[in-house]
Amino acid sequence: MIKFIKDQIKCFQCRVALRKQTRPSDKFLNQCRQLFLDKICPAPIENVRMAKSFGLIYRYGLFSFFGCMFILSGMVVFADMTNVGYGHSLYSFKRFGESVRIKLVPQAGQPSLHQEFAERRLEEMKAIKGNTIPASATEQVKNQNQSILTQNKEVEQLSQQMHQEINLIFSDVEANRIEPARIKIICNDIARILNDDEESLTEIPTKFQQESRNKLNINCAGFLDP
């Protein structure tokens, strides 16, 4: 019995030694595995290159997108904080920043923003009017007339936008969305803007000025300072 057990142990040791001696090397197995995979599912070199190129394009494209968004957002913030003038290269960014601010601010803070934007439009109109250069020679008359027409059109557009901001404030007053303690301050500020607009920019009241003045008298009659 003991001899049988010893013989079995020797047989097992022989099998282990034989398996160890005949086992392929890891390098050979890796080479064979790659050859086997190439035979079973060959991948064209062009597809591999395209996949790598697509990955690079995707990564660089994503990086470029976020980089551009960061730069553009910085330009918007800068243009809005510095309040660039009309005609400035960043003016459109400022207006975009204003639209974002009015959407993000709570409803209670919207009247103050509308007032700020109305004052900005007023200052922009004044700046345009102040840029009128008188003609010093006959050949400049035509260019000056064209410049005046362009300025008047720009001023009219800004005036309409300013009065739209004011009308939005009146809508909040009519809907009782403004605290009573703030109504007097806001009404007097609007009256100051309208007075400045009428005195410095136009000799004859425009349609927008008349509409805003009528709404001021209706909504703020009891809040205006004498």
Number of other CB atoms surrounding residue 198 within 10 Å: 17
DSSP state of 106: -
The rounded distance, in Å, linking the Cα atoms of 47 and 124 is 58
For residues 136 and 170, what is the distance between their CA atoms, to the nearest angstrom? 45
Q: What is the pLDDT of residues 88-137, one digit of tens each?
A: 899 999 999 999 999 999 988 899 999 999 999 999 998 888 765 444 44
Tokens of 6: 């010893």
65, 69, 75, 79: CA torsion to nearest 10: 140
pLDDT tens, residue by residue, 213-226: 898 888 888 888 77
Q: What is the pLDDT of residue 137?
A: 46
Q: Which of 200, 207, 104, 116 is CA-nearest to residue 166?
A: 116
Using the CB atoms, write b or e for 69-94: b if 16+ within 10 Å. Answer: eeeeeebbeebbeeebebeeebeebb
Give residues with Cβ within 8 angstroms of 196, minimum separation 6.
Answer: 122
Local structure of 90: helix, strand or coil: coil
The helix (H) or strand (E) run that includes residue 224 is none
| CA quadruple 122, 125, 126, 130: dihedral, nearest 10 | 170
- Position 4 scores a pLDDT of 64
What pLDDT shows up at residue 50? 63
The pLDDT value recorded for residue 135 is 47
**Verdict on whether the full-model pTM lies above 0.85:** no
Residues (pLDDT < 70) of the chain are 1-4, 6-7, 18, 37-52, 131-145, 201-204
